Amino acid sequence: MKKIGLFCMVLLLAGSLIGVLAAGREAVADAPIVLRLAETHSQDYPTTQGNYEFARLVEERTNGRIKIEVYHSSQLGEERAVLEQVQFGAIDFTRVSISPLSAFVPEFDALQMPFLYRSGEHMWQVLEGEIGREFLASLEESESGFIGLCFYDAGARNLYNSRREIKTVEDVRGLKIRVQEAPLMMRLIELMGGVPTPMPFGDVYSALQTGVIDGAENNWPSYYSTSHYEVAKYFTQNGHTMVPEITVASSISMAKLSEDDQEIIRQAAWDSMDFQKEKWADFEAEAEQIIRDAGNIITMPTPEAIAGFQKAMEPLYAAQPAYVQDVIARIQAVK
């Protein structure tokens, strides 16, 4: 009798163990795949809004199987360090400026040359057309560890500083200007006669405040959202570059997903562009207005002065390798 009782108990235990294991397996199968995206800007910034839209589309189109968590405000690190982690697959996605990416893949200089695009429309014709698509695909082929997904708007970059009004390129002489950690940006400021000082985005505010640097360069939204406009009052609308933003995936992370899921991710990122562009246009206008209202000294250089900035960039064009020169010519030919 005792033996039968024991036997029954063993059976019962084994049964419930099997039950628990099966339930566990089901839970694993149902658990969403969670991927991480790193973003340097704050939560309400247009690029971050674009990231959320990308994440929303991926979640919707995979019926919740894939979730992308957006880590904004440099929670996962500054752009250069984040890009390294994306190469190792430690971070799955990031949205960065093309400048820091160009330090890893120099061919991207072709998309961020000074005074390259005639307008925002021209830039988008290029990025959404054959050339932009080619660049996204070439990233993958370059075995850089990145997969290019889409571009976002970042308007035009302009000079600002805490020392003096800049009306012409000659006025830049001797000013210490922070640049992104990219060789092209270093050279650009050097050719204007300034002293380029590369540093991560997050360090710029205190460097301006303490006088370690005299100025920096960026678009209206970044000048505003970082509060740089409070410590560097002189802003010159010289628009020396339009540097597109780019979202990249880690090829290591992507390789773990099915072909179908990879395709959903690519398409969702591409489809988030229009949303970001709209947010960008609104925020750019809003930031400019706030800065003007704050009483900053805003200088619009004359056409001759702009021509002076452009002329100063000629050696940078001349120094580009043949491949970049070809792309530049193709970009200039885009109507």
Q: Is 245 in the site for ligand BDP (CB under 6 A)?
A: yes
Q: Is 40 in the site for ligand BDP (CB under 6 A)?
A: yes
How is residue 302 written in tokens?
């004359």
d(CA 51, CA 49): 5
Find the shortest distance in angstroms from Cβ 330 to ligand BDP. 25
Kindly tell me the sign of the dihedral angle through the C-alpha atoms of 82, 86, 88, 91.
positive
Piece of the chain touching ligand BDP by CB under 6 A; list 9-17, 214-222, 231-239, 295-303:
214-222
Characterize the bridge pairing of strands 157-161 and 146-152: unpaired
Residue closer to ligand BDP, measured from CB, 55 or 177: 177
Q: Is 218 in the site for ligand BDP (CB under 6 A)?
A: yes
Residue closer to ligand BDP, measured from CB, 49 or 180: 180
Give alpha helix (H) positions in 142-238: 183-191, 204-209, 220-225, 228-231
How is residue 236 written in tokens?
């010159």
Q: Is 97 in the site for ligand BDP (CB under 6 A)?
A: yes
Give alpha helix (H) positions in the chain: 2-30, 46-61, 79-88, 98-102, 120-128, 130-141, 183-191, 204-209, 220-225, 228-231, 251-255, 259-271, 273-293, 303-312, 314-318, 322-333
Residue closer to ligand BDP, measured from CB, 62 or 158: 158
DSSP type of residue 85: H
Residue closer to ligand BDP, measured from CB, 154 or 231: 154
Q: How far is CA 201 from CA 77, 97, 106, 179, 219, in A?
A: 10, 11, 20, 9, 13
Amino acid at 52: Y
- What is the number of the residue whose Cβ is closest to ligand BDP? 201
Piece of the chain touching ligand BDP by CB under 6 A; list 117-125, 141-149, 217-225, 260-268:
217-225
Binding mask 41-70 for ligand BDP (x = CB under 6 A): ------x-----------------------
Q: Is 247 in the site for ligand BDP (CB under 6 A)?
A: no
Q: Is 180 in the site for ligand BDP (CB under 6 A)?
A: yes
N- to C-terminal Cα distance for the chain?
Answer: 93
Find the shortest distance in angstroms from Cβ 121 to ligand BDP. 20
Task: Pick the binder of ligand BDP from 53, 79, 109, 288 (CB under 6 A).
Answer: 79
Q: Determine the size of the site formed for ligand BDP (CB under 6 A).
A: 12
Give the footprint of ligand BDP on this chain (CB under 6 A). 40, 47, 79, 96-97, 154, 180, 201, 218-219, 222, 245
